[in-house]
Chains A and B, each alone.
Chain A
Amino acid sequence: MSYPSDTSIVVEDVTKTFTLRYHRTFKQVSVALLKGRDLSDTFNALDDVSFTVKQGESIGLMGLNGSGKSTLLKLVNGIMKPDSGTVLTRGRIAGLIATGAGFHPQLTGRENVYLNAAVLGMSERETARKFDDIIEFAEIGRHLDAPVGNYSSGQFARLGFAVAVHVDSDIFLADEVLAVGDRPFKKKCMEKMQEIRDSGRTLFYVSHAAASVRKMCDRVIVLENGKVGFDGAVNAGIKYLKYEDENPDNDPDDMGDLDEELGADI
């Protein structure tokens, strides 16, 4: 099957099954066998999910806890492979599901920036070129040469975020991004994400916060128990989720609601 040249992400008939393990140890397995109980059980985290995304679209991925959002993001990111169906992407993927992944607590901030950037697919030259921007964005000052194990959780998250947003990517995935960090930093992050969106990259934004989805996204996909429950316009999607009444007087273009956007994003 062929897709138009501006297709960024294709998810087609994707099913991902997880195994629930009731019994793991030798003792438990033998007892279960004797009593004739099931040794394991499976469930579909994603069930026949299909959609395509055009380059430059920004998608708000919504749904209740456990509806398969993170699994879908992991499939798009390539961490997992679907059990059936296909996932195709175009270009380099970066994102905030991996902030700080691979940070080694005993290494310094500087060493970790290089390592983390390499994990995200940046070359040595590219990292060196962006190093100052990354450090400036992270605002960790002279802690740069201290082991990240001694960082506060906010500093840790900031450094991870700073590296991730400086990767030249075509697809940007953001999963519950702003859980850590103080208000000024959150604000800065939101601005950076908007900048990413406006630069024509595909944005995939997972959030429970209706306000920030409204601000960031031009399309909403709602997952319900691993199935696509809704795929379409932002406001209709939020209505579909019945998140609306939680934020009754929300004007989509009102910048003054930043507090609420950020607050709800935790």
Chain B
Amino acid sequence: MTEHVPVAEQPLAPPSASNGLLGVFGRRYLLRLLVRREISARYQGSFLGLLWSYINPLSQFFIFWFVMGKIIGMGDKAENYPVHVFAGLIIVHFFVETFNAGTRSIVRNKALVKKMAMPREMFPVASMLVSLFHVGPQLVILLVACLATGWAPDPVGMVAGLLALGIVMFLGTSLALLFSTANVFFRDFSSAVSIMTNFVRFGVPMIYPYTLVADRFAGHTELYLANPIADAVLLMQRAFWTGTTDDPAATALVHLPDHLLSRGAIALGASVVMLVIAQLVFSRLENKIPERL
């Protein structure tokens, strides 16, 4: 945002001129403050503060590791099972949080939306960035676990990891955009979304290895892999988990689908297309948002 310009030099323009997501990035300073508000408000008055963003994923991780790994015995099906789960959990958590918080974002910021002219895409995008912020601590935990089990970074793995995060960022934002408007018209959508996100945990190879899908769902794996979140989880496992196993190349060959990187690139492309569609829908519905809130 620039400093104030004399009025005579400014054009007559519609006051509501909002150029969607581009407008959001034109107001990065406000976006940064909104994200910061969200993060600091969440931990205000809490003694452990930001530590909670470590505790929450860690506790989930222990549940999956103990129940699925030890009791149900999934741990025998994949080497270094905890890392396998946690790599997936980071992606799933990032996506679910973006989708859930993003869907509620506009209704939750009612006061602002009804009173201020600003690109309303700001709120879903801010939700995504808050979720991305929480990925940080989890990545730190994962890195520590990986380094402890003899992992070393490799270029292909890094590309895979970035692809994974990129897919979730774009797909998460597009779904957040779509459902945040839908939620204005019918609050049912936020409930529907939390049910949908329940499926995500089980629709991706996180608590079970991909080999199990390839075995028992043979012939339909393309369908399974059409889910971009499943691709993102597999890419994340390529980035972190395979490197911790005794023979990374063999693990990747057995436990990951072929052409993983190109699948990831396609999923990323599809997510970008999805974002464009979401933006178009959002712009169409946006007009009615203030009066329906």
Q: Which residues of A contact B (CB under 8 A)?
A: 3, 5-8, 10, 18-19, 55, 74-81, 86-93, 97-98, 101-102, 104, 106-107, 111, 114-115, 118-126, 147, 168, 170
Interface residues on B, range: 35 or more
User: Is the beta-carbon distance between A107 and B114 smaller than 8 angstroms?
Assistant: no
Which chain A residues border B3 with CB–CB below 8 Å?
Answer: 123, 125-126
Residues of B within 8 A of A101 (CB): 111-112, 114-116
Known A97-B115, A123-B1, A170-B10; judge A107-B15 contact (CB<8 A).
Answer: no
B13 close to chain A: CB less than 8 A = yes
Which residue, of B12, B13, B40, B118, has the highest number of chain A Cβ atoms within 10 A? B12
The interface residues of chain A lying within 8 Å CB-to-CB of B12 are 3, 7, 10, 88-90
Which of chain B's residues have a CB closer than 8 A to the CB of A19? 291
State whether A93 touches B115 (Cβ < 8 A).
Answer: no
Residues of chain A within 8 A (CB-CB) of B17 are 78
Which residues of B are interface residues toward A (Cβ below 8 A)?
A: 1-5, 7-8, 10-17, 27, 29-30, 33-34, 37, 40-41, 44-45, 109, 111-112, 114-118, 287, 290-291
Looking at the complex, which one of A6, A87, A106, A124 makes contact with B29 (CB distance below 8 Å)?
A124
Are A102 and B114 in contact (CB-based, < 8 A)? no
Q: B26 to nearest A CB, angstroms?
A: 11
- Are A79 and B290 in contact (CB-based, < 8 A)? yes
Residues of A within 8 A of B115 (CB): 79, 97-98, 101
A122: chain B residues at CB < 8 Å are: 1
| Complex CA–CA separation, A7 to B45 (angstroms) | 50
Whether B1 and A93, one on each chain, are in contact in the complex, defined by CB atoms closer than 8 angstroms, is no
* Cβ-neighbour of B287 out of A7, A81, A120 (below 8 A): A81
A119-B118 CB under 8 A given contacts A5-B8, A78-B16, A106-B44: yes
Known A118-B29, A121-B1, A123-B3; judge A76-B15 contact (CB<8 A): yes
How far is it, in angstroms, between the C-alpha of A97 and the C-alpha of B140 when the chains are bound?
45
Neighbouring B residues of A90 by C-beta, 8 Å: 7, 10-13
B41: contacting residue among A18, A79, A107, A170, CB under 8 A: A107
- Shortest CB-to-CB span from B239 to chain A, Å, is 36
Q: Determine whether the beta carbon of B15 is less than 8 Å from that of A93.
A: yes
Q: Which residue of A lies closest to B31 (CB)?
A: A118
Residues of B within 8 A of A75 (CB): 15
Q: Give the nearest-CB partner of B4 in chain A.
A: A168
11 A-B pairs besides A79-B16, A81-B16 with CB distance below 8 A are: A5-B8, A80-B16, A81-B287, A89-B13, A101-B112, A101-B116, A107-B41, A115-B34, A119-B118, A123-B1, A124-B29
In angstroms, Cα B109 to Cα A101, docked, is: 10
Known pairs A80-B16, A90-B11; A104 contacts B1 (CB<8 A): no
13 A-B residue pairs with CB within 8 Å: A10-B12, A79-B117, A80-B287, A87-B14, A87-B16, A89-B14, A90-B11, A91-B10, A98-B115, A102-B116, A118-B30, A125-B3, A147-B44
A107 touches B40 (CB 8 A): yes
Report chain A residues within 8 Å CB of B14: 78, 81, 86-89
Check A78–B15 contact: CB distance below 8 A: yes
Contact of A98 among B16, B116, B290 (CB under 8 A): B116
Contacts A101-B116, A111-B37, A118-B30: A170 and B13 contacting too (C-beta < 8 A)? Answer: no
Nearest chain A residue, comparing its CB with the CB of B41: A106
**In contact, B13 and A88 (Cβ under 8 angstroms):** yes
Residues of A within 8 A of B112 (CB): 101-102, 119
A230 to B234, CA, bound (A): 67
Nearest opposing residue in chain B for A56, CB measure: B7
Contact B16–A115 (Cβ < 8 Å): no
